[in-house]
Amino acid sequence: MANFGDYQMGIYLAGAAGRKPALPIAFEGLEAAAHQVLDPELLGYVAGGAGDERTQRLNVEAFAQWGLMPRMLVGAAQRDLSVELFGQRFPSPIFMSPVGVLGACREDGDLAVARASAVTGVPMFASTLSAATLEQVRLAQGATPGFFQLYPPNDPELSQSLVSRAEAAGYAGIVVTVDTWVNGWRPRDLSSGYIPMLRGLCLENYRSDPRFQELVAAQPAGQAGAVELTWAGIFGRPTLNWSDIDALREATSLPLIIKGICAPEDAKKAQDHGADGIICSNHGGRQANGGLSALQCLPAVVGATGLPVLFDSGVRSGTDVVKALALGARAVGIGRPYVYGLTVAGAAGVEQVLRGILAEADLLMAVDGYAAIADLVPEALHRVAGPAA
d(CA 257, CA 266): 13
Handedness of CA 384, 386, 388, 389 (dihedral sign): positive
14's enclosing H/E stretch is helix 6-16
Closest by alpha carbon to 159, among 177, 145, 141, 140?
177
Phi-psi category of residue 200: left, alpha or beta, with phi > 0 → left and psi -120 to 50 → alpha: left
d(CA 161, CA 210): 8
d(CA 184, CA 289): 9
Q: Which residues pair with 217 in a beta bridge?
A: none
Q: What three-state secondary structure class fits 144?
A: coil
* Residue 200, amino acid: G
Instruction: From the candidates 35, 273, 283, 382, give the one annotated as an active-site residue.
Output: 283
Alpha-carbon Rg for the chain in angstroms = 20
d(CA 256, CA 244): 12
Could you give the angle at the alpha carbon of 147 between the alpha carbons of 53 and 39, nearest 5°? 40
* Residue 152, amino acid: P
Q: What three-state secondary structure class fits 147?
A: strand
**Torsions phi, psi for 126 (to 5 deg):** -80, 130
Strand ordering across the sheet containing 125-126: 94-96, 331-334, 309-311, 277-280, 256-261, 174-177, 147-150, 125-126
Catalytic residue check, 273 = no
Residues tagged active-site:
283
